[in-house]
Amino acid sequence: MNALLERYPDEVKAILARYPQEQKRSAVMPLLYLAQRERGVITVKDMAEIGELTGMEITEVGSIVGFYTLYHDSGPRFRVQVCTDLPCALRGADEFLKRLCENIGVRVGEPTADGSLVIEEVTCLAGCHHAPMFQVQGDGEITYHEDQTVESATETIAELRRRAAGGQHE
């Protein structure tokens, strides 16, 4: 039996019902998001099961995971993504990112020692007028944090690390 279908029968059926039978490949992205929701990553087994549900080869599903930045086949539970596009940089995002990484003792793209999160530099989160800002991907959600200071961001990161250590999925 397909474990994704077994874990989320109603959600999988609802996703597949959105598309005509001959277009079920179109369900691949919402199914990937569903698979990633629980653990923050998409496993090879998840890709195979989604391929089975959509009539796609596992390599086709894997190529979608590899292309889109919202899908992850490895890594920590949380991704803190700081926008450093030019408008955000003009509002101090580069310095914010540098100081934030120094504050928690990591480099951009390097997971924390406990493996709970990584800070990534991204381009355009569509909130330039509220920079410095970042989004957090994890636990099946994306949350935005605008008008940040290094101190407020450090508090958010501390909370994410507590959640990861406690195994809490909110």
Band of residue 70 on the pLDDT scale cut at 50, 70, 90: confident
Domains assigned to the chain: 3-67 (1.10.10.1590), 78-166 (3.40.30.10)
Cα gap 61→169, rounded to integer Å? 26
Q: How far is residue 74's CA from residue 82's CA, in Å, rounded to a whole number?
A: 19
pLDDT of 90 > 90? The answer is yes
What pLDDT, in 10s, does the model give residues 20-67?
999 999 999 999 999 988 777 899 999 999 999 999 999 999 999 999
Give the pLDDT mean for 128-155: 93
> What does the mean pLDDT of the chain come to?
91
In this predicted structure, the answer to whether residue 1 has a pLDDT above a threshold of 80 is no
Given a cut of 50, is residue 170 above it in pLDDT? Answer: no
Interval 131-140: pLDDT, tens = 999 999 888 7
Q: 42: which DSSP letter?
A: -
Q: What is the pLDDT of residue 167?
A: 62
Q: What is the arrangement of strands in the sheet containing 141-145, beginning at the earlier edge strand?
A: 117-122, 78-83, 134-138, 141-145
Confirm if 121 and 97 have CB atoms less than 8 A apart: yes
**Structure tokens belonging to residue 54:** 């959509």
Q: What's the average model confidence in pLDDT over 107-126?
A: 92
pTM of the model: 0.72
Name the β-bridge partners of 138: 141
Q: Is the peptide bond before 9 cis (omega within 30 degrees of 0)?
A: no
